[in-house]
Amino acid sequence: MQRSTRYRDAPPRSEEHGLFSYMVVPDWVSFDVLVFDESMCDRKANFKIVDLEYINALNVLVTTLHTTMRNYRLDGTVCEGCDYEYKRYIYIYI
């Protein structure tokens, strides 16, 4: 379970006292090109958010595409017959 974080110093953009929330998706794909090696191509990570489902005013369900760099294509798909899964995270603001 992940918790959302609220940033209070942002310019007002909502009716709720100018607050907005953001979430950090765990295991999001990232790499440093200076220390990149080929083994990183086989490490699984979340590459794309494929669905956001509103649960209530404080909670959202996020579905991600979880695969490897080797299997992910720049058009947002996974190569035919390659391994992938959908991961779901519920973000709860407490």
pLDDT tens string 48-91 = 999 999 998 888 999 999 999 999 999 999 999 999 999 999 98
Q: What is the pLDDT of residue 91?
A: 86
For residue 81, being part of any structural domain is answered with yes
For residue 36, being part of any structural domain is answered with no
For residue 63, being part of any structural domain is answered with yes
For residue 32, being part of any structural domain is answered with no
For residue 37, being part of any structural domain is answered with no
Task: Please check the confidence at residue 2 and state whether its pLDDT lies above 50.
Answer: no
Mean pLDDT of 18-43: 81
For residue 57, being part of any structural domain is answered with yes
Q: What is the pLDDT of residue 30?
A: 85
For residue 34, being part of any structural domain is answered with no
Q: What percent of the chain is helix, strand and coil (3-state, nearest 5)? A: 5, 45, 50
Mean residue pLDDT across the chain: 82
Nearest to 86 by CA among 60, 49, 59: 49
What pTM, to 2 d.p., does this model score?
0.72
For residue 50, being part of any structural domain is answered with yes
Sequence-ordered list of residues with C-beta below 8 angstroms from that of 57, at least 6 positions apart, any chain: none
Domain total in the chain: 1
The model's confidence at residue 93, banded by pLDDT at 50, 70 and 90, is confident
Domain that residue 13 falls in:
2-27+42-92
